[in-house]
Amino acid sequence: MCPEHKKSKVSLQLWVLIALLAGIACYFFPLPGQVATAEIIMKGFTSILKLISLPIIFLALVTSFTGIEKLDEFKKMSMQVIRWTLITTIIAASTALLLFLIVSPATIPPEFKGKTLLAGNFLDHIIKVIPSNPFQPFLEGNVIGVLLLALGIGFGLLQVQGREKVHEVLSPLLAALMRLVKIVISLIPLTVWAGIILSFDHFQDVAMLKKLSLYLAVVIGANLFQAFVSLPLILKAHGIAPFRTMRLFMPALTMAFFSKSSVATLPLAMTTAEENLKVPSKIARFVLPVCTTINMNGCAAFILATTLFVATSHGITFSPFELGLFVVLATVAAVGNAGIPMGCFFLSSAILAAMNLPLDLMGLILPFYAFIDMLETAVNVWSDASVALIVTKSQSTAKPLEVPLAS
């Protein structure tokens, strides 16, 4: 990570802290018109998210698939990576859902009981989710439709020649939109101030503070469960000693935690996997870069818990089908998260904006996101290493893992 990038991150965190303190100060010493100003800021922020969120999600997911190289030589490996990426990400999202249902951080107010997100019956919803033309989900703000369209095109491009040309065309478009994302990120301190102004009543509400703490417990708990239970069980089932593996991979995990960047950790992750975990170079240098792009376990847990928390806090209830749909949504959104700064927070906000829900609670979550991001990045990199080890064990031409990692 370059010094400038690191400096900008520190600066953003400092401005967020200043905005948080300024919002608290403005509550005790209100300025003329501050509520109206805060409302304008939040509406503008929501509009910008709606403008760029769906194109970014679509392009990020499609370029993730088209960016996979040497598919003919590594077809089996590619399918295994995609398979275990989806399996581990679905497990992470499902764990977050289960914890959310158990902990229940957001109690539905009595006046909102029975209000559901989706209108109509089950079949009506199925028909509505599936777009009838490629432009419809973008025009209607149908996040799930966009994700399904991107997923279908991405998988389709894996099977045809010339996907590299598609990647070359779409990557600059994604890069251009990412410049707009930087503008959005630069506005985050303003949205924090506005969110504090509009939602400070929640801080006076002991019940709301309890809900926020329970929400954080769900997000952190889901990530810890994924790191210390789900992934170790998967490794154990493949004959790999999980915690000894984790200890040998600790240099990469430490860097991931403190850098908050899977991409910045990638060189050390590949070196550690090859030297400490004895993963063959041809596997480590293919699997880990691909997983860094699409394997986002921690992000899936955050997206699911956050969208459900904000939605239920605003009186939305969900049927079992809708909850299952959110697992799919969080999984695909996490896969399409590659390359987006503060991607989990941004995608969660984008999904909520597309659902026409207020983003005031995101302002309350943001001050805690720095630590959540550190934990999520470490879980993502740990999952990447786990997938690389599973692929190694399954490759008949690969050298078997050495005795220190054998269970």
Q: Please tell me which residue, 186 or 310, carries the higher pLDDT value.
A: 310
Reported as a single tens digit per residue, the pLDDT across 184-194 is 767 778 877 88
Q: Looking at residue 82, what is its pLDDT?
A: 86
> How is residue 230 annotated by DSSP?
I
Q: Tell me the C-alpha distance between 108 and 98, whole Å.
A: 18
Enclosing domain of residue 80: 3-405
**What's the confidence (pLDDT) of residue 340?**
54
pLDDT at 126: 52
**184-209 as b/e, with b when 16 or more CB fall inside 10 Å?**
bbeebbbbbbbbbbbbbebeeeeebe
Asked whether the predicted pLDDT for residue 44 surpasses 90, the reply is no
Rounded percentage of the chain residues whose pLDDT exceeds 90: 22
Average pLDDT over residues 280-302: 85
Residue 221: Cβ within 10 Å count: 19
The 8-class DSSP code of residue 239 comes to: T
Mean of pLDDT values over 37-53: 78
Residue 307 pLDDT = 92
Sign, Cα dihedral of 169, 172, 176, 182: positive
Domain of residue 303, CATH code: 1.10.3860
35 — alpha (psi -120 to 50), left (phi > 0) or beta? alpha
- Tell me what pLDDT residue 338 has: 53
Q: Which two tokens stand for residue 352?
A: 């909520």
Residue 275: partners with Cβ closer than 8 Å, 6 or more residues away = none
**Which DSSP category does 405 fall into?**
G
Cα 262 to Cα 285, 336, 337, distances in angstroms: 14, 14, 12
Give bridge partners of residue 116 from the DSSP assignment: 317
Integer Cα distance of 142 and 400 in angstroms: 46
- Whole-model pTM: value is 0.69
Q: How many domains does the chain divide into?
A: 1
What's the rounded Cα separation, in Å, for the pair 363 and 382?
29
